[in-house]
Structure 1
Amino acid sequence: MYRYDDFDRQLVAERTAQFRDQVARRISGELTEDQFKPLRLMNGVYLQLHAYMLRVAVPYGTLNGEQMRKLGYIARTYDKGYGHFTTRQNIQYNWPKLNEIPDALADLATVEMHAIQTSGNCIRNTTTDQYAGAAADEIEDPRPYCELIRQWSTFHPEFTYLPRKFKIAVTGSPNDRAAVRVHDIGLRMHKNAAGETGFEVTIGGGLGRTPFVGKTVRDFIGKNDLFSYLEAILRVYNRFGRRDNKYKARFKILVHEVGIDDIRQQVEEEWAKIKDGSLRVSDDEIAQYIAQFAPPAFEELQDNDPEFERRKQAHPDFAAWVRSNVIAHKQPGYAIANISLKPIGGIPGDATAAQMELVGDLADQYSFGDVRVTHEQNLVLPHVKKADLFSLWAELNGAQLATANLGFVTDIIACPGLDYCALATARSIPLSQRISERFGDLERQYDIGELKIKISGCINACGHHHVGHIGILGLDKRGKEFYQITLGGDASQDAAIGKIAGAGFSEAEVVDAIEALITRYIDIRTVGERFIDTYRRVGMDPFKEVLYGDR
C-alpha cells in the first residue's frame, strides 16, 4: 500500500490551510457563494439540496484499517453518524457544517486522506478493480499504475481547468470489474504478441445525458510509455473539447463528433512530440512503485481447510454468505471476503460510524489492514485466511454487514437521488428499498441468479443505470416521479448501454414492473442462463410484452 512522502504531506497540509481561510472568508461574507463555489469544488465540497456535502477521495478504492476508522470518526464527529460510499470508490458525507469542514479535512490529513479533485473540471479519482493484488485471474496488480496516475494528475497545471470532469479506470484482469469501457480513459492490462505486459487504451466512454461505450484508441501501450500517452490524450481533449456548452463538453462528445480515427491521429501526433521526454517512466521507477504494493506476508497454507468446510456444513447462513460473498484468492488458503452494504430494505452504500470502525478493526485482525471500496458501493477485505472466514462472518453478522447478496437482485446500485441531491428529478433510495424488500428472500435471489439493478435519480446517471442489466432512471413528469426502465446494459468486458423499454412507470407501478420482467426472464431462460444472457438471446420484445401488453 502506498504511503505518503514528505511532498504529499506538505501538499495536503497547505491545501487544508488554504481552504480553512477560504471558508472563513465565505462565512464572514467577504466571499459570495458564487465566488466561493469554484474554491469549495476544488476541495470536494458541494452544496446539495439540504446542506453542504463533503466527498473524500479513496484513491483506487484502497484504505487501511486506521483510515477506515477515521472515516467512522468523521461520520460521528462532523455528520449524522454515517457516510455513503459512491460509484467512484469514494465516500460522501451529506450533512457537515461548513465551518467544521476544514477541521474534518485536517483530521483526514492525519491518516493521509484528502478531498482534492473529487469534484470540478479536473481528473477525478482513478478507480480500479476492488480485488487488485488478490484476484486469481489477475495479470498484474494495477494499483502501482493507479498511484502513478494519481501523482501525475494531481494539480497538473495543464489540466486543472479542463472543459469538463475527466475519469480514468484501470483493470489488471481480463474480467473487467472496474467498468473501464464507460470511462473517459479505460486501461485494460494484457500481454502483446511478444509477451510484454501493457495496456489497451479505450477513450470516449461515459454515462450521463449521452452515454457511450469507449472505443479503442490504441491496442497496446507499454508501461514505460503509458503516462506520456495519457498526457497526449488529455492535451487533445484540452485543446479541442468544447467550453461553450457544458452538455457538449465531455470527452465522449468530442470522440463521438470528431470520430475515433481522427482523434487517434491527433493523439499519436501529440504523443510523438513528448514520448521520449520526462514522462517516460523507467523500469526502475516502475519497480519502486510495484514494491510499494508488494503482497502481504502470506502464510504457506493448504487451500482445502477441513474446519472451513465443516463450518459451512454446520451453519447454513455462513454457507450462504460464502457462496455469494467470498471470491477465490490467488494465494492458497486465502479468500477475498466481500462486505455487502445492501442489507434488505437498507440504503445502498451507506455505512454507520460504528460499522466503519468495526471494518477497520476487522481489516487489521483478518486482512493485513487492507480494505477496498468497490464501484458497486460495497466493501472488501481482500486477504482473509479461509480458516478465519467463520469468525469474520460472525462479527460482520452481528453488525448487520453479512447480507449474502453480492451480485444478486438486492445488490442494487443507487445514487442519493432527490432525498439529497439538488440535481435529482426523482428519489432513488426509497425505490431501491422497496425492490430489495420485494426480492429479499434468499432462496428466491439464488433462483433468479446474477442480476444487476442500477438506479439513478436523474439523467446524470450517478447510479450507472445505463449499464444495469435492468436500469431505472427517475424522472419528473408534471410534478410526479416517473421511472424509465432500460434493459441489457452491462459494465463488464462485454460493456453495453441499455435500451429504453418504453414509457415510464409511476412510483406505485415500477416495483411490479420489475417483478414482471424477472418473472418473464425465469419463464424463458435456459439452464444456467443469466438475465443478461437471456436478454441478449431473445431481445427486447418478450420483456416489452409483459410491461406494456395491457396498456
Structure 2
Amino acid sequence: MYQQDEWDQALLRERVAEFRDQTQRFLAGQLTEDAYRPLRLMNGLYVQRHAPMLRVAIPYGVLSSDQLRGLAHVAEHHDRGYGHFTTRQNIQFNWLTLASVPDVLAELAEVGLHAIQTSGNCIRNVTTDPLAGLLPGEVDDPRPWCELIRQWATLNPEFTFLPRKFKIAVSGRLHDRAACRIHDLGLELRRDEQEKPGFRVWVGGGLGREPHLAQCLREFLPADDLIDYLTAVLRVYNQAGRRDHLYKSRIKILVKSLGIEAFSNQVEATWQDIRETRSISALAALARIQARFTEPAHDPALADDRIEPTPTGAFARWLRYNTREHRVPGYRVVFILLKGLERAPGDLTAVEMRVLADLADQHGFSRLQTTHDQNLLLPHIPVRALREVWQTLDILGLANPGIGTVNDVTACPGLDYCNLANAATLPLAQQIQQRFQDLDYLHDLGEVHLKISGCMNGCAHHHVADIGLLGVEKQGGSWFQLLLGGRAGAESRLGRVLGPALRAEQVPDAIETILALYAARRLSGEPFAETVQRIGLKTFKETVYEQHDHSRRATHHGSLAHSEG
C-alpha cells in the first residue's frame, strides 16, 4: 500500500483550503453557479435529486482500516449513517449539505483521502484488478503503476479540462480482470522476449449512450515510455476531441471517426516530439513510488496451517464461495457481499465500516479492497482466523455466500438519487434478490453477473453483464430493456438487446425464464455468455416474450371473468 509523505498531505490540505474559500464565496453570492460548477466538479461534488453528493476517490480500490474509519466518521456525522460503494471502486455520500463539504474534505485529508478529479472533464480515478497482488500468475503488480499514473494525472495543468471525462484501467495479468476494453485507455502489463516490462495499450473503449470496446493502439509499449506515451494520447485527444457536442466528446468517438490507424499515427508523431523535447523516465519515477509501497509481512510459519479438517454447514458454504486461495500459503482472500434484502447494492453503514476496520486490524494487516461489483474484500486473512471472521460477518449480515451469483446484483442509485435516471433501480434490485434466495440453485447456475443501470450513462456497466438491465424513459413507471451475453475482460463482448422494454414488475419473471432456459440448454461448465452465443439470442427472446404474452393474456382473461362476475 502506498505510504503518503508530507508532500502528499500538503497537497490535500492546500486543496481543501482552496475549495473552502470557493464554497464560502459561492454561498455568500460572490461566485455564480456557472463559475462555481467546474470548481465543485473538480472536487467530486454533484448536485443530485435530494442533496449534494460527494464522490470520494479510493485510488485503485485500496483502503486502510484508518481510512475506512474516516469514511465511517463522515457517514455518521455528515450523512445519514452510510456510504455507497461504486463500480469505479470509489465511495459516494448522498446526503451532505453544501456548507459541510469543506469540513468533510478536511477530515478525509487527515486519513489521506480526497475527492480530487472524481468528477469533471479530467482524468478520473485509475482502477485495476481488485485481486491485484493477491494471486499467483501476475506479470507484475499493477498497483504501483496505478499510483504513478495517479500522481502524473493529479492536477496536471494540461489535462484539467479535457473534452470529456477520461478513465484509465491497468491490468497485471495476461487474462484481464480490470475490464481494460471498456475504458478510454486500458493498459495490460506484458514482457517482451528479453523479459523487459511493457504494456499492451487499448484505446477508445466506453459504455454509455454509444458503447464501444477499446481497440489495440499498441501491441507493446516499453514500460519506461509510459508517461510520454500517455501524454501523447491525451494531447491528441485534448486537441482533436469534440467540444461542441456532449454525446460526441469522448475519445471513443474520436477514435471511431478517425479510424484506429490514423489516430495511432497522430499519437506516434506526438510521442516522437515529446521524446525529443521533454521525456520522462517512467521506470525512474516508478522506483521512487515503489520505495513508498509497503507489503504485509506474511508469517511463513502459517504456511502449514490448514482450514479446520471438515468445515460444514453455512461456514463451509461461505468458505467455498466467498474466499479465494492466496498467493501466500496459510492465507485467504475474503470477499464481503454488500448486497441483501435490506441493503441497496454497495451500501455500508458507519457501524459496519468500523467493525470491518477492526477485523482488518485484528487479522488482515489493516487493509481492505473495493471491487468493481460494489463489494469489499479483506485481502490477507490467515486461514486460522477464517471462522472468527465469518462469525463476525454473519452477525453483521455480511456473510451471504453469493459472490458472483445472480444475487450479487450491481446497480446504480437510479431514480432514488440521480437526476439523470429514467427508472428506479434499487427497488428492482431488491425484487430480484428476493426472488432468487435458493443458494443451491444459485450455486448450480454458477457465475451469472446481473447489472442494472437507470439510464444510458451505464454506471452499473450493464452492457458487459451476462444479464444487463437498462432503465428507459416511458410514461407510467419504471421500464427496463434487457441485454444478454455481455462480458468484460480478455474476451470482452457487448450484450445485445433482447427485445422491447418490460415494466419493472415483469423483469423478475423474465430473468427467471432466462435462467431456466440457460440451465436447460447449457453444456457442462459452459458460462452464460457462451450459451447465449451458441444457441442464439433469438431462442431467449422467443422464450421470454412468449411467456410474457401468455402471462398478459391470462391476466386479461382473469380481469374479464372478474368483471362479468
TM-score (norm 1): 0.97
1:337 matched to which residue of 2?
334
Tell me, what secondary structure is at the counterpart of 2:520?
Answer: helix
1:23, distance to aligned residue in structure 2 (A): 1.5
Contact kept? 2:340, 2:430, Cα under 8 Å? no
1:283, distance to aligned residue in structure 2 (A): 4.0
- 1:501-512 to structure 2, matched below 5 A, reads 501-512=498-509
2:222 matched to which residue of 1?
222
State how many pairs are aligned: 548
CA 1:329–1:291 in 2, change beyond 3 Å: closer, same or farther? farther
1:302, distance to aligned residue in structure 2 (A): 5.7
1:153, distance to aligned residue in structure 2 (A): 0.4
CA 1:143–1:277 in 2, change beyond 3 Å: closer, same or farther? farther
Contact kept? 1:417, 1:424, Cα under 8 Å? yes
Cα distance in 2, alignment partners of residues 263 and 375 from structure 1: 29
Cα distance in 1, alignment partners of residues 512 and 116 from structure 2: 42
* Higher Cα Rg, which structure: 2
1:204, distance to aligned residue in structure 2 (A): 0.3
2:167 maps to amino acid: K
- 1:426-441 to structure 2, matched below 5 A, reads 426-441=423-438
- C-alpha offsets along residues 371-402 of structure 1, whole Å, 9 cap, x if unaligned? 11111111111111111111111111111111
Runs of 4+ in 1 over 3 A off after TM superposition: 276-279, 282-285, 301-306
- C-alpha offsets along residues 256-284 of structure 1, whole Å, 9 cap, x if unaligned? 11111111111111111113655432644
2:365 matched to which residue of 1?
368
Counterpart of 1:359 (choices 341, 344, 356) is 356
1:28 maps to amino acid: A
Cα distance in 1, alignment partners of residues 357 and 7 from structure 2: 27
Tell me, what secondary structure is at the counterpart of 2:205?
Answer: coil
Contact kept? 2:85, 2:347, Cα under 8 Å? yes
1:321 maps to amino acid: W
Cα distance in 1, alignment partners of residues 16 and 154 from structure 2: 15
1:54 maps to amino acid: L
1:506, distance to aligned residue in structure 2 (A): 0.8
2:404 matched to which residue of 1?
407
Q: CA RMSD in A?
A: 1.4
2:457 matched to which residue of 1?
460
Cα distance in 2, alignment partners of residues 215 and 64 from structure 1: 35
Counterpart of 2:386 (choices 369, 382, 389) is 389
1:293, distance to aligned residue in structure 2 (A): 2.8
Counterpart of 1:520 (choices 508, 517, 521) is 517
- 1:138 aligned onto 2:135: no
- C-alpha offsets along residues 169-200 of structure 1, whole Å, 9 cap, x if unaligned? 00101232211110000011122222222110
1:379 maps to amino acid: L
- C-alpha offsets along residues 197-255 of structure 1, whole Å, 9 cap, x if unaligned? 21100000000001011000001112211111111000010010000001000001101
* Identity within the alignment, %: 49
- 1:239 aligned onto 2:239: yes
1:537 matched to which residue of 2?
534
- C-alpha offsets along residues 23-54 of structure 1, whole Å, 9 cap, x if unaligned? 21222222233332111111111000111001
2:174 matched to which residue of 1?
174
2:422 matched to which residue of 1?
425
1:200 matched to which residue of 2?
200
Tell me, what secondary structure is at the counterpart of 1:292?
Answer: coil
1:24 matched to which residue of 2?
24
Contact kept? 1:205, 1:213, Cα under 8 Å? yes
1:301, distance to aligned residue in structure 2 (A): 4.0
Cα distance in 1, alignment partners of residues 413 and 13 from structure 2: 30
- 1:323 aligned onto 2:336: no
Counterpart of 1:495 (choices 492, 495, 498) is 492
- C-alpha offsets along residues 38-75 of structure 1, whole Å, 9 cap, x if unaligned? 11111111000111001101111111110011101110
Cα distance in 1, alignment partners of residues 342 and 486 from structure 2: 24
Contact kept? 2:451, 2:462, Cα under 8 Å? yes
Cα distance in 1, alignment partners of residues 291 and 278 from structure 2: 22
Worse overlay, 324-333 or 293-302: 293-302
Contact kept? 1:345, 1:437, Cα under 8 Å? no
Tell me, what secondary structure is at the counterpart of 1:221?
Answer: strand
1:111, distance to aligned residue in structure 2 (A): 0.5
Tell me, what secondary structure is at the counterpart of 1:23?
Answer: helix
CA 1:26–1:479 in 2, change beyond 3 Å: closer, same or farther? farther
1:298 matched to which residue of 2?
298
- 1:34-49 to structure 2, matched below 5 A, reads 34-49=34-49
Contact kept? 1:229, 1:275, Cα under 8 Å? no
Cα distance in 2, alignment partners of residues 31 and 468 from structure 1: 43
1:63 matched to which residue of 2?
63
Worse overlay, 537-546 or 413-422: 537-546
Contact kept? 1:338, 1:381, Cα under 8 Å? yes
2:27 maps to amino acid: I
Cα distance in 1, alignment partners of residues 517 and 438 from structure 2: 19
1:443, distance to aligned residue in structure 2 (A): 0.9
Cα distance in 2, alignment partners of residues 332 and 277 from structure 1: 49
Contact kept? 1:136, 1:330, Cα under 8 Å? yes
1:303, distance to aligned residue in structure 2 (A): 4.8
1:309 matched to which residue of 2?
308
CA 1:533–1:24 in 2, change beyond 3 Å: closer, same or farther? same
1:459, distance to aligned residue in structure 2 (A): 0.4
Cα distance in 2, alignment partners of residues 52 and 419 from structure 1: 14
Contact kept? 1:301, 1:332, Cα under 8 Å? no
Contact kept? 2:227, 2:282, Cα under 8 Å? no
- 1:165 aligned onto 2:165: yes
1:152 matched to which residue of 2?
152
Tell me, what secondary structure is at the counterpart of 1:508?
Answer: helix
Cα distance in 2, alignment partners of residues 401 and 47 from structure 1: 31
2:466 matched to which residue of 1?
469
Tell me, what secondary structure is at the counterpart of 2:338?
Answer: coil
Worse overlay, 314-323 or 240-249: 314-323
1:321, distance to aligned residue in structure 2 (A): 1.1
Cα distance in 1, alignment partners of residues 515 and 291 from structure 2: 47
Contact kept? 1:69, 1:358, Cα under 8 Å? no
Tell me, what secondary structure is at the counterpart of 1:108?
Answer: helix
CA 1:276–1:539 in 2, change beyond 3 Å: closer, same or farther? farther
Contact kept? 2:3, 2:293, Cα under 8 Å? no
TM-score (norm 2): 0.95
Worse overlay, 27-36 or 522-531: 27-36
Long gaps (5+) in structure 2: 550-565
2:523 maps to amino acid: T
